[in-house]
A and B are shown apart, each in its own frame.
Chain A
């Protein structure tokens, strides 16, 4: 089976712009979770989607949003980018409880 894929792998944006990241889970996995990794805060949970519904949400501002499509692919959107949004964004998919991570999208905000 193919692993979790994320696009794009690298992204450079400027403050105030918005960005959309994409994640395709492992075939058959219906749960997709998103995490942000920064040197200062480590790995932090953003949100989790299952069957197109957000089931759980971390402690991030409303500028961070996501959605899941009927084929389980997920997107996350960050609006009005700030310098502090520069991070590695990781997506994970799961079928039961074990999570499998994609390679990440490295976002730089200038």
Chain B
């Protein structure tokens, strides 16, 4: 199956700082989503972004499908942004392949 690599694996930020999370994938994809997993385990949708750029408040994402990577930007980070961020890609058949995640800790 397709390989999905996320970096960095761990990130510690001071509140108010900006960060960039990266997702590389090994083959062409039809779908790419970014999720935030809360402490209770639920995956919260951040972006559905197979290509292009989207913004939602302090978060934005860019996917360059031809170069097989996606970036998630978090600006002015808050303690509530802490958690694990996952990138997931799909080639066909609604089968998502997940990266290993970036664990973000925002300290006040």
Q: Which residues of A contact B (CB under 8 A)?
A: 31, 33, 35, 37, 42-45, 48, 50, 55-56, 58, 88, 90, 92, 94, 97-104, 106
Q: Is the beta-carbon distance between B42 and A48 smaller than 8 angstroms?
A: no
Contact residues in B for A104 (Cβ distance below 8 Å): 41-42
Main secondary structure of the interface of B (DSSP, over half): strand
Task: Tell me how far the C-beta of A43 lies from the nearest C-beta in chain B, rounded to whole angstroms.
Answer: 4
Q: Does B98 contact A (CB under 8 A)?
A: yes
**Which residues 23-71 in B have Cβ within 8 Å of A in the complex?**
30-31, 33, 35, 40-43, 45, 48, 50
Q: From B13-21, B74-82, B87-95, give the one contacting chain A.
A: B87-95
Q: List 26 A-B contacts (CB under 8 A).
A: A33-B94, A33-B96, A35-B96, A35-B98, A42-B98, A42-B100, A43-B88, A45-B96, A48-B93, A48-B95, A88-B41, A90-B41, A92-B43, A94-B94, A97-B30, A97-B31, A97-B48, A97-B50, A98-B33, A98-B48, A99-B96, A100-B45, A101-B35, A101-B42, A102-B42, A104-B42
> Which residues in B have their C-beta under 8 angstroms from that of A56?
93-95
Q: Given contacts A97-B48, A98-B48, A101-B35, are A58 and B41 in contact (CB under 8 A)?
A: no
Query: Size class of B's contact patch?
Result: 20 to 34
B residues touching A (Cβ–Cβ < 8 Å)? 30-31, 33, 35, 40-43, 45, 48, 50, 86, 88, 90, 93-98, 100-101
User: Given A90-B43, A101-B42, A101-B43, does the pair A55, B94 have CB atoms closer than 8 Å?
Assistant: yes
How far does the alpha carbon of A106 sit from the alpha carbon of B40 in the complex, in Å? 10
Distance between Cα atoms of A42 and B1 in the complex (Å): 15
